[in-house]
Structure 1
Amino acid sequence: MIGKLAAITVAAAVAAGAVFLGWQESDKPGALFRPDDAQVVASGEAIYGTYCASCHGADLKGEADWRSRDADGFLPAPPHDETGHTWHHPDELLFAITKFGVAKASGLDNYQTKMPVYDGTLSDEEIVAVLSYLKAQWPDAVRKRHDDLNANYARQK
């Protein structure tokens, strides 16, 4: 019950933040990210370099053997380029994972990860900028599939 309540709370907070801050792109339902905004992408690249590249790689390739748990039982940092699974998730979930962590965003109370929670470290705008930078690096076909995924997610809400 608490996991479901946490997931609903996270989703509501993300949706409210998106509306309040004006991130919703009218031509792309469900979209929070701005991969076509050069200023946002440049800001995201700098923030990514500071907070994310040490694990996910400056080239977005992630850590080796990222699908297999390490000796301590953790999954290595996945790639954020088109070879990873980042683009398999809607913007709202990616935002929530980055801000609140995998466990809280996904309602998985006991999920353990080495990825830090960025709530209180990065602002919502900075998180959106980082995720916009990632999406800006994907090939057009992957970006289109991600846009379609966001639209499908928005229709289901």
Structure 2
Amino acid sequence: MMPARVLLLVSLFLIVACSEQRDTGQTGNTLTLDQILGRDLSPEQVTRNFDPEQVARGQALFRKNCAACHGQNAEGTPDWRKPLENGRYPPPPLDGTAHAWHHSTEELKNFILNGGPPGEGRMPGWAGILADQEVDDILVWIKSLWPDEVYQGWYTRIENRPK
């Protein structure tokens, strides 16, 4: 019974977290990350130390495996916020303008390997097709696209949150 409750709570958290979305510029309103998160950002600036070779590998792997759905530059599908006729949502942007940054690296890797998120989209699982290192490379490239403000908020509030 306890694992079911934990799963329910995690699912509810993900639904709520994914409902907060950054404006893509369609309305001309750009929200700051602290407005989106509803709390103050850490005054400490997070430095990205991505390996340029890993970023390049990730970009090539993304374009080979992911771009058909998410776009060459991870810009997503037009009207990605509107459900399709089947009720599912089209592929969102992964460039920091949607909600990918609401998830930890571990959660993003799980979505890539196992598909998902469950019930929301049609993303297939890539386990057995992409190696763990390839998924890691893709995620580094995706995170390299995120604006500094988004990366800062993601790192301080999602990735590096106290456990």
TM-score, normalization: structure 1?
A: 0.69
Is 1:116 aligned to 2:130, yes or no?
A: no
Q: 1:62 maps to which residue?
A: 76
Query: Are 2:136 and 1:128 equivalent residues in the alignment?
Result: yes
In structure 1, distance between residues paired with 2:49 and 2:135: 13
Give, as a single letter, the amino acid of the residue that structure 2 aligns with 1:151. N
Cα deviation digits, residues 79-137 of structure 1 (max 9, x gap): 0112111111111100111111225xxxx5xx263211000000000001001000011
Following the alignment from structure 2 to structure 1, what is the Cα–Cα distance between the partners of residues 103 and 96? 12
Percent of aligned positions that are identical: 34
After TM superposition, the structure 1 = structure 2 runs for residues 1-157 of structure 1, keeping only pairs within 5 Å, are 4=4, 36-102=50-116, 108=118, 111=119, 113-148=121-156, 149-152=158-161, 155-156=162-163
Give, in whole Å, the separation in 2 of the partners of 1:84 and 1:49.
19
- Aligned partner letter, 1:141: E
Give unpaired runs (5+ residues) of structure 1: 8-33
| Alpha-carbon separation, structure 1, partners of 2:49 and 2:116 | 23
How far is 1:78 from its partner?
Answer: 0.2
Relative to its length, the structure with more helix (as a share) is: 1
Computed over aligned residues only, the root mean square deviation of the Cα atoms, in angstroms, reads 2.1
Judged with a 3 Å threshold, the aligned counterparts in structure 2 of structure 1 residues 59 and 131 are, in CA distance, closer, same or farther, namely same
Cα distance 1:112–1:87, how it changes in 2: closer, same or farther (>3 A)? closer
Q: Is the 8 A contact 1:35 1:133 kept in 2?
A: no
Whole-Å separation in 2 of the counterparts to 1:83 and 1:151: 21
CA contact (8 A) 2:54 2:137 kept: yes
Cα contact 1:35–1:135 (8 A) shared by 2: no
Deviation, structure 1 residue 35: 6.3
The answer to whether the 8 A contact 1:86-1:94 is kept is yes
* Counterpart for residue 15 of structure 1: none
Equivalents in 1 of 2:120, 2:146: separation in Å?
Answer: 28
Whole-Å separation in 2 of the counterparts to 1:100 and 1:140? 29
Paired residue secondary structure (2:149): helix
Give the greater-gyration-radius structure (CA): 2
Scaled by the length of structure 2, what TM-score is found? 0.67
